[in-house]
Structure 1
């Protein structure tokens, strides 16, 4: 069987980048007409088939064996501990595999993202559709979109209305958890999460603000605490998660992992959770080895998110009708042991 021609093969022959080849063959802007004609001629000479044509040629067999689904995740989202996204990928691969599809995971480094380097799965023409778990830069997402390969985002959205995505209800979850703390008598509540790092952190913060506003509680700038660099997005409890000089009675954290790191810092500083300070979070997913306190959190229905993402990308590849746009999955509060009523605090 002849080896499939890759975008990289065409790029090398013409002497341009893979991105330029991808744009030229998919009819995107940014390539001169003369260069587009030249690239197309080389592609025809080498026998290159665009993803859509390749899928049509193999459609009959694909109906039986499913699709090749690429999954992209920024490596900074994974880090030292098992992450929410690694768990999500495992569930996605299991769900997609049960439907007869094959999943290929590729991690995107900060350098690759900055340089807008084409993923190997696209350059090698190996996949029918792409699922991106966790927000990547707009330039990088645009590059993927320009390839013409169907794409779905998970746990983020952008200003591009053509991007289909599945997200948890971060806004309502942030609101609900803050209301939960207020209902326990807390009015001095800090928020932990670097604003601008992810859309999820921003949305949970907006929910936090709404809950404070409904109870005429004014947010304090010194109680908005960063947990990571807004550039590389890597959680860093050494450089970030700094305790304020005047302590609140409770913290609302953007994730359980952040909450666990915060609790460690509180304990080192001599505070007990929940006896002295209460901590609530979002995700209901705490990787083992971070802290021993069971954290009260907003549970994300990961199973439903994965189910929707698999359905959306396979329908999109097949050209079948599906609900386009952003699909929001709800959740609920799970009470554990990190929050006490204000009147019970020492």
Structure 2
């Protein structure tokens, strides 16, 4: 019985990697035409058989996905992206991929320096997990020949697929929920233009306020993070206006937890004195003693969709680039008091 020819057999004969062979045979970028022709010719000579649709997943084996996360997303108590990375790592492994993680330093982003795992050319695709600056995203797109995908943010580039949660309607539903509980004096806590998700959540809040005929006071749009680093303020640094609303819509649960700690330090109680809602349904244990009403991000679905799109990108399948919006749902807990 003839031995089944594998990608590794072709790679060994030509002294190249399995990833290079896979790219050449599947028509992906990143392989010179002369080398591609040699690989295809040798594959024909050895009788290599392209896998069936059922076997296609095996093409992923030996290919590595680079996952880039900005170091600002690993500040104290902020492990949302660590959990998302763990889920993504499991899904990639199940699909046959290796994955490599690198935290991108502030100076790499500021000075437009390629991450090490990308610069060494040992990945077949890159996932940017969590927001990077538009300048850095443009820089990466100009330098990389492998597929790029965004997870949990987008930068309005038509070239790139992105998977995001439904931030606009999440912010809208949370604000509507507070109105349903009798609140009309409602503030938004989040540095509005710092990330695309915060902007979308603010716009959802704004839509609800407008529909209820309530003007938004400038002093009730409250900054929650450092302008340069993007790191969320501690309770000691978070600044609140002299005139306070009855309720706060926070752009994430971590900010909601910081706000609750700040209010408690000032002698108030949540929800007795103020109502607070967050976003994500994820907060580091011990950050806050109050169970926060929130809009839950469907992290498992976002991760599965990421791998699904990656498979198409890796196989050079023809489909239009777009933003994939994953809806979540409201989770009621104990941080809101009804006024009526």
With 204-213 and 314-323 compared, the bigger mean Cα shift is at 314-323
Partner of 1:315: 312
CA distance, structure 2, for counterparts of residue 79 and residue 121 of structure 1: 22
Gaps in structure 2 of 5+ consecutive residues: 1-11, 18-27, 44-49, 52-57
- Contact 1:192–1:253, Cα closer than 8 Å, also in 2: yes
- Pairing 1:266–2:244 present: no
Partner of 1:137: 133
With 61-70 and 124-133 compared, the bigger mean Cα shift is at 61-70
Partner of 1:53: 31
- Determine which of 188, 192, 214 is the counterpart of 2:189: 192
Partner of 1:25: none
CA distance, structure 1, for counterparts of residue 312 and residue 193 of structure 2: 32
- Determine which of 75, 80, 89 is the counterpart of 2:76: 80
With 58-67 and 321-330 compared, the bigger mean Cα shift is at 58-67
Q: How many residues align?
A: 298
Q: TM-score, normalised by structure 2?
A: 0.83
Q: CA deviation at 1:303?
A: 0.6
Partner of 1:36: none
Gaps in structure 1 of 5+ consecutive residues: 5-49
**What RMSD, in angstroms, separates the aligned Cα atoms of the two structures?**
2.2
Within 5 Å, give how 1:193-208 maps onto structure 2: 193-208=190-205
Q: CA deviation at 1:121?
A: 1.2
CA distance, structure 2, for counterparts of residue 222 and residue 299 of structure 1: 27
CA distance, structure 1, for counterparts of residue 139 and residue 243 of structure 2: 46
Q: Hey, which bits of structure 1, 4+ residues long, moved more than 3 A?
A: 1-4, 54-62
- Determine which of 113, 125, 128 is the counterpart of 1:117: 113
Within 5 Å, give how 1:8-87 maps onto structure 2: 52-53=30-31, 63=59, 65=61, 67-87=63-83
Q: TM-score, normalised by structure 1?
A: 0.81
Q: CA deviation at 1:144?
A: 1.8
CA distance, structure 2, for counterparts of residue 149 and residue 297 of structure 1: 37
